[in-house]
Amino acid sequence: MKLRYYTDAEIEKLKCNMFVVDVLYKRRIEYDTVFKLWCVMMRLKFPELTGKQIFERAGFDIKILHDYLPYRRIGEWVNNYNKFGLNYFLPEYEPYHSLEKQIAEVKTDTFKLKLLKVVLEDLKELSKEN
């Protein structure tokens, strides 16, 4: 697999974007936390938008980036948001952990159901007698 290195002109163009913190090793873009959360919000609120369209709305020059980069980054951020929540993106405030999805368990107490059935039948018979 070949690595894609950005030219000095491309790096300057990327660094001019307010959502880029830095470009490391001439190949790795470090994004601002606000941008990551904004992308998650845009994906959830407007699922019809593509990753490229979301990055374009943020002021990125899509011609510089690999075709799949916006799609992969946003997908990764959305997955992490769904799995770990907001604290994944804000680790300096609180450590993050997996979200606990509570599944509403419907427990059927057969004894109570049978008792209810007997009570209702008895009440019907008592109401007929009166």
pLDDT per residue of the chain (130 residues) written in tens, 0 to 9: 677 888 888 888 888 888 888 888 988 888 888 888 888 888 888 888 888 888 888 888 888 888 888 999 999 988 988 887 777 777 666 666 666 665 555 566 676 667 667 766 777 776 676 5
What are residue 22's DSSP bridge partners? 30
Q: Per DSSP, which regions of the chain are E strands?
A: 20-24, 28-31
Query: 23, 17 in Cβ contact below 8 A?
Result: no
CA distance 49 to 40: 12
Interatomic CA distance for residues 67 and 58, integer angstroms: 16
